[in-house]
Amino acid sequence: MTRPAPPGLGGNFLEQWLVQRRVIGALLMREMLTRYGRRNIGFLWLFIEPMMVTLTVAAIWTARGFHQISDIPIISFVITGYSGIQLWRNMSRRCINAIEPNQALLRHRPVKMLDIYLARMLLEVAGTTTSFTLLCVVFLVFSDQISPPEDILKLVFAWFLLAWFAMGMSITLGALSELTPLVSKFWPPMIYILYPLSGAMFLVDPLPYGMREVVLYIPIVHANEMLRDGFFGSHFQAHYDLSYLIGWCMGLCIVGLGISRLTVEHRLS
């Protein structure tokens, strides 16, 4: 008589999916309790922290009179830009060196290295998306400084692509950090270099033609342009290439998964 395969070691696709779903759910709960605990407001910091950062930047830009420079709503500009920054920044930082403090979990055979990355990334996506949504709703209801999104489907799809790009980049960086410690040394300063180059602080159209061509090689700029096109596209001319952005998202995921496989083989050797 054939025995059923142990959890995580065999079975059909549905059985494997149910096992992985339970594993990721347990890792999500563990990550929330480890990171935020049960004191004060607990896991609410997950989306309150990015909200505070975005509101602070919006207040500074408004106080400096940036809202008088053009007819682009400055609050919408800041919310779309800085929410995206926090998405890829926090996600990549959580994935780098994520395996070492959780190495004991890998002794459980259903738990894989990718599960640890997915749990951390999904937590950041949930927190940043909640922050972005709440900020939009609050300003729409209690303030006249922003207008409703002009194309909600384009806005949602752009946010999905931004999260997809951030996930691919984070898996790649996380797997590389297990092979070399240089990633954890070089990535923090690279984050500050990418801040002004990511398209969060500028629009592509007003740039000189030569500079415009250069910044459009940066894939995250396309995601930000599409996000703003869905929010207030009638106020500016958006520049983005959907196929270029999707190609980068797929490529980063393939590279990240490949390096993760090499990392597993390196650990087993």
Domain ranges, ordered by start, for the chain = 21-266
pLDDT greater than 90 at residue 252? yes
Give the pLDDT of residue 164. Answer: 96
**Between 18 and 183, residue with greater pLDDT:** 183
Q: Which phi and psi (to 5°) does residue 12 adopt?
A: -80, 180
Q: Is 144 helix (H, G, I), strand (E, B) or coil?
A: coil
What's the whole-number average pLDDT of the chain?
A: 84
pTM of the model: 0.87
**Between 173 and 37, residue with greater pLDDT:** 173
Please report which confidence band the pLDDT of residue 112 belongs to, taking 50, 70 and 90 as the band edges: confident
Query: What is the CA angle 64-70-75, rounded to 5?
Result: 60
Percent of the chain with pLDDT over 70: 88
Q: Which of 200-209, 218-227, 232-241 has the highest mean pLDDT?
A: 218-227
CA distances (Å), origin 28, targets 25, 137, 267: 5, 26, 24
Helix residue ranges per DSSP H, 96-208: 113-142, 152-179, 182-197
DSSP 47: H
- The span from the CA of 1 to the CA of 47, in Å, is 52
Q: Which token pair is 112? A: 């894989």
Q: Which of 86-90, 97-101, 137-141, 151-155 has the highest mean pLDDT?
A: 151-155
- The span from the CA of 75 to the CA of 81, in Å, is 10
Mean pLDDT across the stretch 30-56?
Answer: 73
